[in-house]
Amino acid sequence: EVQLVESGGGLVKPGGSLRLSCAASGFTFTSYSMNWVRQAPGKGLEWVSSISSSSSYIYYADSVKGRLTISRDNAKNSLYLQMNSLRAEDTAVYYCAREKNWGGFDLWGRGTLVTVSS
């Protein structure tokens, strides 16, 4: 089955760290760029970061630059988001999403909730 499954979310204190994972299956992971998108409770979608298939190109939203780090392990078909110096405004459901070549985000995981609170 073609799917993405996120894990690693939870409750963390402000200033803390968390590492999210996204396991891909059912497709050739190495053929796709991947993204993280988040959604704060009751709010819209916010693109967070993207990484190309070979990790050559990496981009971040200004709101997370310097605190969140995207990476991937193609041997493990996995995408990661290392989250440091977390703030209350980082509270959101984090989705990983596959990027169809110049065709939008065509496959999404179910998301994992990150709550930053003391």
Partner 1 sequence: EIVLTQSPGTLSLSPGERATLSCRASQSVSSNYLAWYQQKPGQAPRLLIYGASSRATGIPDRFSGSGSGTDFTLTISRLEPEDFAVYYCQQYGSSPRTFGQGTKVEIK
Six token digits for residue 86: 């977390």
46 part of the interface to partner 1, by CB under 8 A: yes
The amino acid that residue 112 corresponds to is T
Task: Map residues 56-95 to x or -, x wherever contact with partner 1 holds by CB under 8 A.
Answer: ---xxxx--------------------------------x
In sequence order, the 6+-apart residues with CB closer than 8 A to the CB of 3 are: 24, 25, 26, 107, 109
The amino acid that residue 31 corresponds to is S
For residues 48 and 38, is the Cβ–Cβ distance under 8 A? yes
Could you give phi then psi for residue 31, rounded to 5 degrees? -90, -5
44 part of the interface to partner 1, by CB under 8 A: yes
Q: Per CB under 8 A, which region of 15-23, 39-47, 66-74, 77-85 contacts partner 1?
A: 39-47
Beta bridge partners, 23, equal 5, 78
102 part of the interface to partner 1, by CB under 8 A: yes
- Judged by beta carbon, residue 66 or residue 104, the one nearer partner 1 is 104
Minimum CB–partner distance for residue 42 and partner 1 (Å): 11
Dist. CA 14–CA 96, nearest whole Å:
23
25 part of the interface to partner 1, by CB under 8 A: no
Minimum CB–partner distance for residue 49 and partner 1 (Å): 9
Q: Footprint of partner 1 on this chain (CB under 8 A)?
A: 35, 37, 44-47, 50, 59-62, 95, 99-100, 102-106, 108-111
